[in-house]
Amino acid sequence: MGKKTFNYTIEPWVTTNERVEYTTNIFKVLKRDMKIESENHSATFSILDAPDWINVIALTSEDEIILVEQYRYGIEKPTLELPGGVCDPGENPQDSSERELLEETGYAGNECIYLGNVSSNPAMQTNYTHTYLIRNCKKVQEQQLDGNERINVHLIPLVQFLEMVGNGEVKHSLVVAAVAKFLLSPFS
């Protein structure tokens, strides 16, 4: 995975200055001064500097997928998503995926497979979202949610979930990207 087959030809912008404009508990807002050297053209861009994220395609031995239903503040609606979250400082993405699955759902599996990553939003974000497939999941404990998390756990047949992604019922772009990684892998 990750082998480049396309030869990029566009001239890259060069960063000439970068400063932190604002810091939140989730990300930093950067102002990045950049230029295209061949044109002597400069501009300033707003960038969200965030830690990497993970998404988990968690399957039971009965080919059910473990999903989380939660209210999303940005769109002010509930969503049905894959378990996932932020990689803690110093934590590798696989450990983050196993931890987030356990905390959000109470489930754990015995096989964790890396399916790759996507740029979360390359136009304005610095981070990547890593996708893991965790197989043979079983409930091993109760949820351990953060103070603001309210999560309902659902197990549905994988085929039904894929139909929900296909018909647009599941709208979270990073979930859809994770499903694409899964379907394009030899593990689907």
45-103 per-position pLDDT tens digit: 999 999 999 999 999 999 999 999 999 999 999 999 999 999 999 999 999 999 999 99
Write down the pTM of the prediction. Answer: 0.93
Is residue 89 located within the same domain as residue 167?
yes
Whether residue 108 is found in the same domain as residue 78: yes
36 plus 125 within the same structural domain: no
**163 shares a domain with 88:** yes
pLDDT digits (tens, 9 = 90+) for 125-178: 999 999 999 999 999 999 999 888 999 999 999 999 999 999 999 999 999 999
Q: Which run of H or of E encompasses 102?
A: helix 93-105
Range of the domain at 98: 53-183
Give the model's confidence band at 188: pLDDT under 50 very low, under 70 low, under 90 confident, else very high.
confident
Give the count of beta carbons closer than 10 Å to the beta carbon of residue 83: 26
The answer on 164 and 80 residing in a single domain is yes
Same structural domain, 139 and 72: yes
**Strand blocks (E) in 24-174:** 28-36, 41-49, 53-58, 64-72, 77-81, 84-86, 107-108, 111-119, 128-135, 138-139, 151-157
Q: Tell me, yes or no, whether 23 and 102 share the same domain.
A: no
Q: Indicate the residue type of 167.
A: N
pLDDT for 122 beyond 60: yes
Same domain, 45 and 86: no
What confidence tier does 1 reach under pLDDT thresholds 50, 70, 90? low
Whether 113 and 20 share a structural domain:
no
pLDDT at 3: 75
Say if 3 falls within a structural domain: no
Residue 97, domain member (yes or no): yes
